[in-house]
Structure 1
């Protein structure tokens, strides 16, 4: 009976909150720059898949409220390697260093510059302070401890990838925000100067002082409220610094686009591939761990690092299952893979085999 009451009451409370906090999309004069995959006010994937019916959406919500989960969260405190200003000061200026901060958030030292990808420092990946997926662990470094960030790269506008509080904090000193088409409107509404925002369409490239950055396709979707589905673009990032190449997949179902990315920009020294939040009810927008390994192979990656796991409970699988399955899949495909703990420094060209921490 309690579950039935919650199912009835929570959507009503949520609707009221959405209205009061302007999370229901309103008509806007904003129109993204022209794109061949934008029509009728919405962006579209290059590979069509059928969207869920209203009945299917209700069934999925019913699962979230009624299905019993196994080991959805860690029973013990996760081991985190603390990152301090002193830690960062010891990193060399002639190489690329990467640190997983949690979920899909990465801190990069690109020679002498610091970059962030999909930084989420908030307690919840949610528009609510009191409801929604809560972190399993703290970030290895606080926002206040971060060095000056030269560049922030955003893959899409979901709450576990685009965090308003984090972006507003970074706006105080960050020089550039690289975002998908349409997301610039969100950042501007949060007080970010337009001159500091660079919108990207798929396959669009920008040169920086340290190298080039290219926004590449994924098979996913976007939206932060009711009525704004697919009004902004989504995608992945290719980073080239000298002869070194990095691929950041962000969220995606498995699709032919990975092979196209590999043909255009591979091979990659290291790939950060989505491995988590998959389920039988949404196979087109999130990959299974086995598909994640295949995506790494498709883009011609050398070393794979699984991301999008071990920070938020976003699906029905055990929190550690993505890591167990992806390691098994990598071994069967003879793929080199590491799963460092959050806060560990990854140095391209000097990879140390991490311990099994989960």
Structure 2
């Protein structure tokens, strides 16, 4: 599949080097959990006692309004952390959303599954019109069906991994709005370059669709500014390749949370997240994928404490804004231990 097809929103999975036997694969082999191991993980979730899985009180947050966003200047890139991995960007006047998750649960059900303990700082109804929505992969804590349905009429374009376009079409998104990408595919528009880059992860929203859609990350260049959005990934050599091809990055949004020894290949530890940032040739690092849902066995604050310690040891500029706090791509790191 060539770049022009991606730019036109046309999906052709058959040409992807990552696809074989009807499923997508990582560049390096990762452990495939056996049925026995999967049962063991479920047993842990049922029986293992968690300590501080959620905060005991409300977390600090800044509410964001439509009017506040409109007042932001159009001469740079502004970011707002919306919770978990969701990021709102105002990119030289255009609004872009990354992995927008607004639902109460990261689950196919409204009554069971991980429930958010940190609200979003703004509702979808309050958001301005969105030029671009970017999706990293189809897991429930990154692809929110209810949010997509609410965004359909106020979004110009959706950028998704191969295969995910089929879900969006089912949910009412006009296929002309959907642009599906393979790894390393680029789209160049006016003053921006958008690249879908590899990660080491997996996909699936049910029992029968495992790895039938692709997963990845986004490397963005707009004018002379560059930023990176990791999606989910285990630590792998691909970070160095992305950094060599598209870095250095002014800012990286790196998955830091939901790690465990039982799935070490597909989610990084905080220490590995710092190394990924270094591999990517990043300047300022913002740890995401934490502080919103209980998705693993560690304490809710553990990712932030560990990443702050490692960043200090490696002299990495770690930025830890509050949910709802607005910051610019050229800003120095927000050094705030709010956890």
| TM-score in terms of structure 2 length | 0.95
Give the Cα–Cα distance (whole angstroms) in 1 for the partners of residues 191 and 44 of structure 2. Answer: 47
Kindly report which structure 2 residues correspond to 1:255-274, keeping only aligned pairs within 5 A, or say none: 255-274=236-255
Contact 2:320 2:333 in 1 (8 A): no
Contact 2:284 2:332 in 1 (8 A): no
- 2:263 is paired with a residue whose SS is coil
Aligned partner of 1:294 among 266, 275, 300: 275
Deviation at 1:235, TM superposition (A): 0.1
Give the Cα–Cα distance (whole angstroms) in 2 for the partners of residues 311 and 290 of structure 1. Answer: 20
In the other structure, the counterpart of 1:115 is 96
Aligned partner of 1:171 among 148, 152, 172: 152
Kindly report which structure 2 residues correspond to 1:81-230, keeping only aligned pairs within 5 A, or say none: 81-230=62-211
Residues 1:275 and 2:251 are matched in the alignment? no
Residues 1:64 and 2:45 are matched in the alignment? yes
1:157-183 deviation per Cα after TM superposition (whole angstroms, max 9, x unaligned):
000000001001110121100000000
Q: CA RMSD in A?
A: 1.1
1:125-144 deviation per Cα after TM superposition (whole angstroms, max 9, x unaligned):
00000000001121000111
Kindly report which structure 2 residues correspond to 1:16-27, keeping only aligned pairs within 5 A, or say none: none
In the other structure, the counterpart of 2:293 is 312
Deviation at 1:35, TM superposition (A): 0.4
CA change 1:54–1:291 in 2 (3 A) is same
Give the Cα–Cα distance (whole angstroms) in 2 for the partners of residues 356 and 277 of structure 1. Answer: 19
Give the Cα–Cα distance (whole angstroms) in 2 for the partners of residues 33 and 337 of structure 1. Answer: 40
- 1:185 is paired with a residue whose SS is helix
Contact 2:252 2:285 in 1 (8 A): yes
Deviation at 1:206, TM superposition (A): 0.9
Give the Cα–Cα distance (whole angstroms) in 2 for the partners of residues 294 and 352 of structure 1. Answer: 17
Deviation at 1:356, TM superposition (A): 2.0
Give the Cα–Cα distance (whole angstroms) in 2 for the partners of residues 105 and 221 of structure 1. Answer: 19
CA change 1:171–1:33 in 2 (3 A) is farther
1:172-228 deviation per Cα after TM superposition (whole angstroms, max 9, x unaligned):
121100000000000011111110000000000112344111000000000000110
Greater gyration radius: 1
Give the Cα–Cα distance (whole angstroms) in 2 for the partners of residues 198 and 31 of structure 1. Answer: 11
Contact 2:62 2:322 in 1 (8 A): yes
1:229-287 deviation per Cα after TM superposition (whole angstroms, max 9, x unaligned):
00000000001001110011110000000000011011000000000000010000000
